[in-house]
Amino acid sequence: MALLKEYIDSGNYLFRKRSYIPLLLYAVATLVVFLDSEALFHPPDLLWSAICLVISLSGLVVRIMVTGTVPAGTSGRNTKGQLARTLNTRGIYSVVRHPLYLGNFLMWLGLILYVGHIWFWLVAILLYWIYYERIMFAEEDFLKKQFGDQFEEWAARTPAIIPRLGRWQRPDRGFSVKKVIKREYRGLVAVILTFVYLNLITNRALQQQWDINGHWLTGLIFAVALFITIRLIKKQTHLLDAKKKAGQ
């Protein structure tokens, strides 16, 4: 099997499993914290928590820039295979080809740094890159077959993962707050809950007690309240439903 085809095949497999495989990082982080706690270089204080949270939230902001403006049928949560009815080339897609994966990386980077173990940083970031590199190979192979020269021209001027901000073009669609709330609230909740979990096990490893720092306890209450509120709104009302255009 040619190496490129192997990359593409493995990327398609990882694409279908992308919602589950990163969960392995939870297990590895837990082992690192408990088995090598002496190598943790920081206490889980407010300043370090704020720095790491800002990094993770910057990734969520990138995802929001995608979610708020993309048309239906693209940039979705499908797990069965690649999907693209149109090629996104404006908005954030005018400065970077894979903004969702950039956003995901930044969200995970804040969490990885919060663990406070240098070798874990290096290994986790390397594995993350290899993991998503395969997915990007598969995605671009699909887009090339789907859109041909249109994709080639866009890819030639747009970097894969490091944004080229000077090439920004306004998106064709207006920003949808409702779509962002419906699709991204779970990401915010997951980030906060993960920080809370890491704080809990770090305190256990360093201080020999199960404890959550006050700022993360506040975050936990906020995350739970946000999740319940939005779930109720989605289930019991139509406030977050997109308005149908006339004639539909």
DSSP string across 26-72: HHHHHHHHHHSGGG--S---HHHHHHHHHHHHHHHHHHHHHHTTPPT
Q: How many CA atoms lie within 13 A of 115 on its CB side?
A: 27
The answer to whether residue 155 is domain-embedded is yes
Helix, strand or coil, per DSSP, at residue 87: coil
The band of 184, judged by pLDDT with boundaries at 50, 70 and 90, is: very high
Average pLDDT over residues 29-33: 93
The answer to whether residue 182 is domain-embedded is no
Average pLDDT over residues 16-45: 83
The answer to whether residue 186 is domain-embedded is no
Q: What is the CATH number of the domain that holds 11?
A: 1.20.120.1630
How far is Cα 245 from Cα 248, in angstroms, rounded to an integer? 6
The answer to whether residue 202 is domain-embedded is no
Helix, strand or coil, per DSSP, at residue 97: coil
Do 33 and 88 contact (CB within 8 A), yes or no? no
How far is Cα 225 from Cα 232, in angstroms, rounded to an integer? 11
pTM above 0.85, yes or no: yes
The answer to whether residue 197 is domain-embedded is no
The band of 73, judged by pLDDT with boundaries at 50, 70 and 90, is: low
The answer to whether residue 230 is domain-embedded is no
Kindly report the backbone phi and psi dihedral angles of residue 91, in degrees, each rounded to the nearest multiple of 5, phi listed first. 65, -140
Q: What is the pLDDT of residues 88-118, one digit of tens each?
A: 888 999 999 999 999 999 999 999 999 999 9
Report the alpha-carbon angle 120-19-231, nearest 5: 115
Q: What is the pLDDT of residues 185-202, one digit of tens each?
A: 999 999 999 999 999 999
pLDDT at 246: 44
- Residue type at 127 in one-letter notation: L
pLDDT at 97: 94
* Domain span at 21: 3-74+86-173
pLDDT at 131: 87
The answer to whether residue 124 is domain-embedded is yes
Domain count, the chain: 1
The answer to whether residue 184 is domain-embedded is no
